[in-house]
Amino acid sequence: MVALIGASCATTPPYNPFKVSQEQIHARTKTIGLTPISVPEGIPDPQSVKVKFESLIEAKLREAGFLTVPSNEFGEIWKRMTEQVGGYFDPISGKRDESKLKTVREYTYRELSTKFNADAILHSHFQVFKVNWSRRIARWHGASESIMPAGQQVLEAFAGISRSGTVSALSLTVSLQDTNEANLYLNSGGLQLLSKLSGDNFVSVPLHELFIDEERNRNAVNIALEPLIKKTGSAEKPK
């Protein structure tokens, strides 16, 4: 039984972020339009967070030889078209009108393609995940972080305490679509934990402590985009 479980785990394939082959993406994509990043509510100075991450993403794409269209171009076209259709939320029910939303999205993609020769659109957003931790360390989406203060780590290690569980963590998720809305690539880079152990209880990380670690910010972008920008390898379309 143990041997069978071990063999099963060993053959689990790693996550493949490509929805089409890497070669197809690089052959067909020269210019990528960026969409604005929505920053979680309550974050101090959200504009600086938005600018910081969009700059990191743009620099990473240019490093791979892609041309980019700034997110403000996408935002302006989207806003203009949304106003033309009268918005895509029903003023009475508050429900989203999927038909109007589809019209706005198709028009925005088409305008970016026509005006800026965009071949694909990169969406980026921050996403919360429940992740596993053990031996005082949480690991997720290529990132790792201690779930407790250094002093508590030493005490638990000295006492031989070994615990495990799950904790909320933040990641940067990016998705690439062509201008016909076909999915090309989806990947996440771990950013930081949203809560940590203090004694036996989890305490939320203060909002002003999110997005301030520049190395973690940069690593999250690198992890999310690295498979896409690498020009070596032969990632094939998943079966």
pLDDT in single tens digits along all 239 residues of the chain:
334 334 444 556 899 999 999 999 999 999 999 999 999 999 999 999 999 999 999 999 999 999 999 999 999 999 999 999 999 998 888 899 999 999 999 999 999 999 999 999 999 999 999 999 998 899 999 999 999 866 666 566 666 677 889 999 999 999 999 999 999 999 999 999 999 988 889 999 999 999 999 999 999 999 999 999 986 444 444 43
CA distance 66 to 119: 10
**Residue 150: its pLDDT value, please?**
63
Q: 188 and 173 in contact (C-beta within 8 Å)? A: yes
**Torsion angles phi and psi, residue 49, rounded to 5:** -65, -45
Q: Buried (b) or exposed (e) across 10-19, using 16+ Cβ within 10 A?
A: eeeeeebbbb
User: In 3D, which of 224, 223, 127, 217 has the Cα closest to residue 185?
Assistant: 224
**Residue 13: its pLDDT value, please?**
82
* Residue 36 DSSP SS3: coil
What pairs with residue 138 in β-bridges?
Answer: 133, 145
pTM of this prediction exceeds 0.75: yes
